[in-house]
Copies of this chain bind each other. A is one copy, B any other.
Amino acid sequence: MSSTTQHGLVVSAHSADFVWRAGGAIALYARRGWNMTVVCLSFGERGESAKLWREPGMTLDRVKAARRDEATRAAGILGASVRFLDCGDYPLRVSDDALFQLADIYRELRPAFVLTHSLKDPYNFDHPLATHVAQEARIIAQAHGHRPDQPVLGAPPVFLFEPHQPEQCEWKPEVLLDISEVWDVKRRAFETMAAQEHLWEYYTRVALQRGVQASRNSDLKITHAEGYQRIFPQVTGAFA
């Protein structure tokens, strides 16, 4: 990719979260020529692979390999590359080494925006921890004394994608992103997630509901949308 390619970063607790929650944004920006990178902190090998564990003779390594394959294929369909930090799940535990690795990725990519999980989730403690780590690594990458030979990171905005049960997570859709034109891509990426087929229809409905709401909050015709909450204020030269 050329030196002027723009980058977007997605920090995902488990290997499939980015597909359900940010697949539209990823596909949209990939189509625009951006370099989209997904960092999966874990494979979701213990907590989000129920179907695989029902197979006889399953082992942790085989689950991880299968989940890695699925996520890699889904990322490919969306047009993103994916990196796995293999921190473990249920519970996710992020060492300072992994945190600094993520800070290095910030410095390497210099993303124009970051997508990650909600701030709270009583159903899943790995999600808010991923958000915390995504924020902390960003702050470290902004420090002049961290690898002082490298230029520091600027202030990329952070957007929080929709959790499974939004109201229980105190999450609110402050941005409704129109993903109508890439909906078919997101749906195809869904369908690589054989282990979680029960979620296909659920997240299709989420996209349709957010689409209706996006139309209602504008004068546009939008069929599918993704909701995001902001961490930081929008800095802008125009009301939009």
Residues on A facing B (Cβ under 8 Å): 25, 28, 45-47, 49-50, 53-54, 58, 60, 63, 89-91, 93, 96, 99, 112-113, 122-125, 132, 135-136, 139-140, 142-146, 148, 152, 154-155, 157, 159, 164-168, 171-178, 201-202, 205-206, 208-209, 212-214, 216-220, 222, 225, 227-228, 230-240
Inter-chain contact B213/A165, CB cutoff 8 Å: yes
Inter-chain contact A239/B46, CB cutoff 8 Å: no
With a CB–CB cut-off of 8 A, which chain B residues contact A58?
148
Inter-chain contact B176/A171, CB cutoff 8 Å: no
**Cα distance A81–B123 when bound, in Å?**
28
With a CB–CB cut-off of 8 A, which chain B residues contact A228?
239
Distance in angstroms from A26 CB to nearest chain B CB is 12
**Cα distance A236–B238 when bound, in Å?**
13
With a CB–CB cut-off of 8 A, which chain B residues contact A175?
233-234, 236, 239
Closest to A114 in B: B239
**Cα distance A225–B235 when bound, in Å?**
9
8 A–B contacts from the bound complex (CB under 8 Å): A46-B145, A47-B145, A53-B145, A124-B139, A125-B135, A177-B239, A178-B237, A202-B212
